[in-house]
Structure 1
């Protein structure tokens, strides 16, 4: 095998990087500092015929205890932001919370909904993240991505195939590297007040003091996942170290060194019990990856 680039670490635990604080070992893991390094890593993995997994903060993800084969790339050091009038362009690893704060400082409105989302710009676009009445597809106008053939391709808004918790990048293998957001002129104080209101609501409703992967299930048609789980009496249900939050039934929290397998098993248990009670199928919003 051709020698790996210097920044690659072998047999690296994923848990320390994940919001769940769970997950097995990656064969290889790298955190590129530049877009050139990212492309070089992709080229190396392609040459070695290795699968590649691209993550930001791993905040909407369960990695099974058996870990991930191939190369894991974390984009978190790719976080530059630039402004062009009412537009902000951010690299994929930029925290969406930080981008919202920058927008507020510049008097740009449209990202208030993302003020408390613990993920990156790339992840927000990949999953078409949303909260509190806002969503990525409402403000994203252009995305640049490195495609499987290693070419850099620009996607206009109409090319992104946005849907509920979906984008074209879940289907085409493209690696998001840069995103442009079209915002509107606003008042700094009003924007800050809205962000504070959202963060206050989060702190009151969500179990932010424990590791979790955010809202676990997509919203089923005609229902709310959290209410179904609560009404089924599942709050406090536990598998290993992972529990259905007593504060918000839509969350699962890592209370005692829970594993990726604990998360997955608890997800399946909740799906089974909710279907038994209400004949509603809960579909995970979080991605579940890796070997058991």
Structure 2
């Protein structure tokens, strides 16, 4: 850690010691439950700390990464060099009329429950997505014929100069699993949703129905990052994988789920290498059989061991 001595000294002036972890295993911070250590993991408590920490990293030419709940992330076994800023403590949710403003670390589940409590509809599709609202806005997350672009009004971000920008829906450049946040490396601070008045009983019934569908069709009992692959144009990744006879295929403790072939799961003690090798096997096999090259929806960071 000698190379970070100056950096850590500056970080200590911005945030408290309980918000700073050294050589922290990323398997403790991702839904896959795999991943080597991050040199430095920070959990700032508010937007001012986020801005200050980003500025410190930039001034010291230290690469930094932002995560929410780590639910769409695979970290390699060698871990991450540099700084990881985890936004889990920035998670307030405010309801005003038909609008909800949620800080980036708020879970999608808590945001959807706040909408239910307020009798607001439109965000039910996200109730079972195991991520944060910041990550959902960044990747225009979606499920069951809904996606963030349908309900997002604006997003407060920190730009690459450490300044706050409020991006409206058009400025967010939302497309399939992408946005201006990913394109330009912004950091989401909060998201404002515009919803519609609804009947609480109807909203709850919709959420319950989607929860049952997820439980019936998805391997929620195992660590994973949700759908591993993006939907290729004109196809469904899960169908291509299943028709390639890959359902149940294992590399080490990584497996193409027998319940839903679009999911790669950690059966017990998979390494990131197991998961990456299985991803490549799936990509190569599907391409050979159908001439379609799958691409991952899950983000892959870090170094090999």
**TM-score, normalising length from structure 1?**
0.98
Are 1:45 and 2:57 counterparts? Answer: yes
Given candidates 42, 45, 62, the residue that maps to 1:30 is 42
Q: For residues 17-96 of structure 1, what are the structure 2 equivalents within 5 Å?
A: 17-96=29-108
Q: CA deviation at 1:220?
A: 1.2
Residues in 2 aligned to 1:115 and 1:140: alpha-carbon distance in whole angstroms:
15
Contact 1:264–1:288 (8 Å) recurs in 2: no
Residues in 2 aligned to 1:263 and 1:123: alpha-carbon distance in whole angstroms:
22
Partner of 1:224: 236
Q: For residues 201-220 of structure 1, what are the structure 2 equivalents within 5 Å?
A: 201-220=213-232
Contact 1:81–1:91 (8 Å) recurs in 2: yes
Segment drifting more, 86-95 vs 7-16: 7-16
Q: CA deviation at 1:216?
A: 0.6
Partner of 2:262: 250
Partner of 1:183: 195
Residues in 2 aligned to 1:246 and 1:188: alpha-carbon distance in whole angstroms:
35
Partner of 1:169: 181
Residues in 2 aligned to 1:58 and 1:288: alpha-carbon distance in whole angstroms:
11
Q: CA deviation at 1:287?
A: 1.1
Partner of 2:145: 133
Segment drifting more, 6-15 vs 68-77: 6-15
Q: Aligned to 1:162, what secondary structure does the other structure show?
A: coil
Q: Aligned to 1:252, what secondary structure does the other structure show?
A: strand
Partner of 2:3: none
Segment drifting more, 115-124 vs 274-283: 274-283
- The CA deviation string for residues 27-73 of structure 1, in whole angstroms up to 9 with x for no partner, is 10011112222222212212221111000111111111111111101
Residues in 2 aligned to 1:14 and 1:152: alpha-carbon distance in whole angstroms:
28
Q: CA deviation at 1:171?
A: 1.5
Residues in 2 aligned to 1:164 and 1:97: alpha-carbon distance in whole angstroms:
22
Q: CA deviation at 1:257?
A: 1.3
Residues in 2 aligned to 1:202 and 1:77: alpha-carbon distance in whole angstroms:
27
**TM-score, normalising length from structure 2?**
0.94
Segment drifting more, 133-142 vs 7-16: 7-16
Are 1:108 and 2:111 counterparts? Answer: no
| Structure 1 ranges of 4+ moved more than 4 A | none
Partner of 2:161: 149
Contact 1:23–1:64 (8 Å) recurs in 2: yes
Give me the CA root mean square deviation: 1.0
- The CA deviation string for residues 95-130 of structure 1, in whole angstroms up to 9 with x for no partner, is 011100110111000100001000000000111100
